[in-house]
Structure 1
Amino acid sequence: MSELGHFVLFTRYNRWMNEKIYDCAATLPPEEIAKDRSAFFGSILGTLNHLVVTDMLWMKRMISHPASALVREELEALEQPTALNQILETDLAALRARRDRMDDLIARFVAGLGEKDLATAFSYRRTNGEAQHKLLGDVLLHVFNHQTHHRGQLTTLLSQAGKDVGVTDILMLLPDAD
């Protein structure tokens, strides 16, 4: 599989896992979703909000990359998050709508990339204002790894609430080899 093929797979995995997490969380009452469980972002809701916030931040940063042309108008329309722990939504259904929109935007962004785009650098500023200049492929790898990291935390938080997300392995999306 090509490097770009891996990112297409990551978008499928990202969407699949986000659907599983939100489906599982939706079986809990709102007070359980908002309950502080001493996680880095406090609660299930706080962690879910963090993932949407960071995807919004990263996608807005990618506006400066030439490959963003297909989704630039939508990226520009995204609100600019103000903090990594910002609560965008307290209602799970409303947050899920934002999550679904982000997953769709990320998938369309990746679908519009060519292999050469991954090796093209772009410049952006971190939330502290520090200038950065990174390769798109490296940044995308971070974005998907970050999602996986926090979804691992979410499976633990959901388990603490008595819920099992089920199988989370990317292997479930891989075809058998001939």
Structure 2
Amino acid sequence: MPQLPHFQLLARYNAWMNAKLYAAAGQLSAQALSEDRGAFFPSILATLNHIAVADIIWLKRFAEHPACAELRQAISDLQRPTALDQLLFDTLEPLHALRSRLDGHISDWVAALTEQDLEQVLAYGNMKGVPAQRPYASLMLHFFNHQTHHRGQTSALLHQAGQDIGVTDLLALIADIDVPA
């Protein structure tokens, strides 16, 4: 069974959900975005920063795949974050611009992959330099799952701040199939 259509769907879901989160976050004051709400990454802004930080870390790793020269070039100007709680931006506007850029790179990267690319093993080092070798497709699944996990947290934080982002289910992007009677 081909895996690539699933990753293409997850890339679309990523961009769709991020657009919803940032639209809702854009309705809040800077103070509300930075307020400590008792979450793992304390504020809405800190959680959104973490998602971007993790995406940059993983995209830099994924770009080392021999088939990902375009991704490697596209993100070459981005600095590799040094901490998972690093604040890339302390205001929403530049973070939103980065988020939009990352989502475009994610969509382009996934669109350029082949089924054979997904079968490769990726060798990388974690934030502490510990080496690992794992299946590329499994790491991609982790990448998208990580985003979903923290977007769920952000959704809850936005709800606490009075912002409802609406439907968040992946099901909303899955086309209904007409079955002949």
TM-score range, shorter chain: over 0.9
- Write 1 or 2 for the structure with the bigger share of helix: 1
Aligned residue for 1:172?
A: 172
In structure 2, stretches of 5+ residues that fail to align are none
Report the Cα distance in structure 1 between the residues aligned to 2:135 and 2:37, rounded to whole angstroms: 36
Per the TM alignment, residue 2 of structure 1 is displaced from its structure 2 partner at its CA by 2.8
| Structure 1: gaps (5+ residues) | none
- In 1, the alpha carbon distance for the partners of 2:167 and 2:104 equals 22
- Percent same amino acid among aligned pairs? 48
In structure 2, what is the equivalent of residue 72 of structure 1? 72
Partners in 1 of 2:10 and 2:3 — Cα distance?
A: 11
- C-alpha separation between the residues in 1 aligned to 2:62 and 2:143? 11
Give the superposed CA RMSD.
1.0
| Cα separation, 1, equivalents of 2:156 and 2:32 | 14
For residues 52-106 of structure 1, the C-alpha deviation after alignment (integer angstroms, 9 at most, x for no partner) is 0000000111222112112221232211101000000011011000001111111
Conserved? CA contact 1:34–1:45, under 8 Å: yes
2:107 paired with 1:107: yes
Question: Which amino acid is the alignment partner of residue 29 of structure 2?
Answer: P
Q: Offset of 1:115 from its aligned partner?
A: 0.5
Aligned length: 178
User: 1:111-150 to 2 correspondence within 5 Å?
Assistant: 111-150=111-150
Q: Which amino acid aligns with 1:112?
A: A
User: Is the contact made by 1:63 and 1:76 (CA closer than 8 Å) also made in structure 2?
Assistant: no
Q: How does 1:1-178 map to 2 (within 5 A)?
A: 2-178=2-178
TM-score with structure 2 setting the length: 0.96
Question: Please, what TM-score do these two structures have when normalized by structure 1?
Answer: 0.97
Runs of 4+ with >3 A deviation: none
Q: Deviations over 1:2-56 (max 9, x none)?
A: 3100000000000000000000010011100000001001000000000000000
Question: Could you tell me how far apart the structure 2 residues matched to 1:77 and 1:175 are?
Answer: 37
